Amino acid sequence: MKISLVVSLLVCTASHAFVSQSPRPFVRASSQVFATVEAPVARKTKAPVFDEVCETTGVTLSRFMNEVAMLNPELKELAILFGAIDTACKAITNLVKRSQLPSSETLGYQGEVNVQGEDQKKLDVITNDLLKRALRFTGRLGVLASEEEDVPVDLIGNDKSDSRDILIEEGEKYVAVFDPLDGSSNVDAGIPTGTIIGIYEHDENCVVDPDCIGDDCSEQEAQCLANTLQPGTNLVAAAYCLYSSSTILALTLGNGVYMFTLDETIGEFVLSKPNVKIPDDATIYSFNEANLEMWDAPMRKCVESWRMGTGKSGKTFSSRYIGSMVGDVHRTLLYGGVFGYPGDTKNPNGKLRLLYEGAPMSFIMEQAGGISTTGKKRVMEITPEVVHQRVPVIMGSKNVVQEVIDAYAAE
Ligand code: AFP
């Protein structure tokens, strides 16, 4: 039985199902302007072309990353980080799925309030720890910042007690920023949630003393921790995992968006949507409309015109809003339309966090051919001043989001 399974996993057939439609190099997100949202054109590295697909397993995430690494040796270390993300997303899938069982130890609140004044759920804390450990033990991480950590955490200098467990410490280091369980306030109702991750390059010369906290840090150490405060244009990779009817892992390495679906029968993420492109036009808007009266005039005007069918397309829009960014953005990527959380009179910068929600999701959106703006500025170009900075976000189909940009420009 075991032998035949192994054999069948190895039998692959030629297929063009996953041939990348327009292979492009993996490069950094450039400082492109709204008018040109296409991926950068410099051809330094190669994208894998899958002309052979294993019937039993399809193209797994690990095979995808191995091929990326073979074609682009400079991305080898990044592939190792994605191995950890793969494992963490599978583990979080199980935690979310089991969290509503009466016997579950992950049910309910932790009893703590995070630095943003939000009640931390046990799941927030557990998933944060899980992702942190998974990434850390790759030995490829320098600093991380998370929604659930008050300040950036240095992983090379700190946690010395555990350093014996880090197997590989050589090679390129990265900075990871993440929201381990976005939308967790919805989890008790069985509503989709997600993990959002952004990866930046790290300054190799940064070493932070384990005792460095706040004012005890030297200027150089503080600068190293501030390595997390980079604009989205510096992202080398971004990903989200959506925990819903299926678990979907979507990623970009600056060369288009690839979506993988978790096949639970084999325990692997399998490439299900290569080179995802968001439709340029669509008639769905996704906002917390209860805040409409508090938005500024251009935003209000756009949503009202879509509702009335008096916008540029002349079509009447439908509304879809989950209240869980990963779910709302995932649907927007596939069906088109616009998702947003604008600023309002109560919260001028809205609710979403720039570093681990706005920037990574904008990178993915732009790589799928969409636009992401505050209304006045490209989200990717904003450099965070503090880790938990908020940012207004309006992202989605090119022609629809352009209406918002035009409305603000005409102000
Ligand atoms: P939680 O993680 O506290 O559930 O917040 C989710 C979120 O940050 C984002 O995922 C949603 O798009 C947004 O908040 C929803 O906010 P509203 O509940 O105000 O609509």
What structural domains does the chain harbor? 61-100+121-157+170-276 (3.30.540.10), 284-410 (3.40.190.80)
- Does 180 sit in the ligand 1 pocket, CB within 6 Å? no
Cα distances (Å, whole numbers) of residue 273 to 248, 261, 333, 359: 10, 9, 11, 22
**Most ligand 1 atoms within 8 A of CB, residue of 241, 325, 356 to mutate:** 325
The predicted-structure confidence for 380-395, as pLDDT tens digits, reads as follows: 999 998 888 999 999 9
DSSP secondary structure code for residue 390 in this structure: B
- Does 325 sit in the ligand 1 pocket, CB within 6 Å? yes
Q: Does 212 score more than 90 pLDDT?
A: no
Taking the C-alpha atoms of residue 228 and residue 176, their distance in angstroms, rounded to an integer, is 8
10 Å Cβ neighbour count for 40? 18
Q: Residue 118 has what pLDDT? A: 65
> Going by CA atoms, what residue is nearest to atom 15 of ligand 1?
323
How many whole angstroms from 190 Cα to the centroid of ligand 1?
15
Mean predicted confidence (pLDDT) in 150-173? 53
Going by pLDDT thresholds of 50, 70 and 90, the confidence category of residue 228 is confident
* Alpha helices in 247-352, H assignment, sequence order: 297-308, 325-335
Taking the C-alpha atoms of residue 214 and residue 248, their distance in angstroms, rounded to an integer, is 38
Going by pLDDT thresholds of 50, 70 and 90, the confidence category of residue 210 is low
Helix, strand, coil shares of the chain, percent, nearest 5, are: 35, 20, 40
Residues β-bridged to residue 174: 141, 201
Contact 289, 302 (CB under 8 A): no
Mean predicted confidence (pLDDT) in 194-205? 87
Taking the C-alpha atoms of residue 339 and residue 325, their distance in angstroms, rounded to an integer, is 8
Mean predicted confidence (pLDDT) in 38-64? 74
10 Å Cβ neighbour count for 103? 6
DSSP secondary structure code for residue 355 in this structure: I
**Most ligand 1 atoms within 8 A of CB, residue of 114, 242, 288, 351 to mutate:** 351
Strands 174-182, 141-146: pairing is: parallel
The predicted-structure confidence for 180-192, as pLDDT tens digits, reads as follows: 999 998 888 999 9
Q: Which DSSP helix (H) or strand (E) runs through 371?
A: strand 371-373
Cα distances (Å, whole numbers) of residue 196 to 125, 186, 242: 15, 16, 9
Any idea which of 132-141, 164-173, 205-214 has the lowest mean pLDDT?
Answer: 164-173
How many whole angstroms from 208 Cα to the centroid of ligand 1?
34
From 94, 204, 61, 86, select the one nearest 141 (Cα to Cα).
204
How many whole angstroms from 148 Cα to the centroid of ligand 1?
15
**Most ligand 1 atoms within 8 A of CB, residue of 125, 184, 185 to mutate:** 185
**Most ligand 1 atoms within 8 A of CB, residue of 109, 113, 119, 182 to mutate:** 182
The predicted-structure confidence for 301-352, as pLDDT tens digits, reads as follows: 999 999 999 999 999 999 999 999 999 999 999 999 999 999 999 999 999 9
Taking the C-alpha atoms of residue 279 and residue 276, their distance in angstroms, rounded to an integer, is 10
How many whole angstroms from 239 Cα to the centroid of ligand 1?
18
- Does 182 sit in the ligand 1 pocket, CB within 6 Å? yes
Q: Exposed, middle or buried: residue 402 (CB in 10 Å: 0-12, 13-18, 19+)?
A: middle
Taking the C-alpha atoms of residue 355 and residue 382, their distance in angstroms, rounded to an integer, is 10
Taking the C-alpha atoms of residue 97 and residue 249, their distance in angstroms, rounded to an integer, is 16
> Going by CA atoms, what residue is nearest to atom 16 of ligand 1?
323
Going by pLDDT thresholds of 50, 70 and 90, the confidence category of residue 21 is very low
Q: Residue 32 has what pLDDT? A: 34
Task: Give the end-to-end CA distance of the chain in Å, rounded to a whole number.
Answer: 69
How many whole angstroms from 183 Cα to the centroid of ligand 1?
5
Dihedral, 181, 187, 193, 195 alpha carbons, nearest 10: 10
How many whole angstroms from 185 Cα to the centroid of ligand 1?
8
Distance of CA 375 to the CA centre of its chain: 21
DSSP secondary structure code for residue 333 in this structure: H
Mean predicted confidence (pLDDT) in 280-302? 98
Taking the C-alpha atoms of residue 256 and residue 274, their distance in angstroms, rounded to an integer, is 8
Q: Residue 23 has what pLDDT? A: 39
10 Å Cβ neighbour count for 317? 21
The token pair at 39 is: 């991926």
Between 175 and 279, name the one with better pLDDT.
Answer: 279
How many whole angstroms from 279 Cα to the centroid of ligand 1?
25
Q: Which DSSP helix (H) or strand (E) runs through 53?
A: strand 50-54
Q: What is the pTM of this model?
A: 0.85
Any idea which of 96-105, 239-248, 276-285 has the lowest mean pLDDT?
Answer: 96-105
Q: Residue 12 has what pLDDT? A: 59
Going by pLDDT thresholds of 50, 70 and 90, the confidence category of residue 275 is very high
Mean predicted confidence (pLDDT) in 365-394? 96
Q: Which DSSP helix (H) or strand (E) runs through 62?
A: helix 61-71
The predicted-structure confidence for 91-111, as pLDDT tens digits, reads as follows: 999 999 998 887 766 656 665
* Alpha helices in 137-218, H assignment, sequence order: none
How many whole angstroms from 177 Cα to the centroid of ligand 1?
18
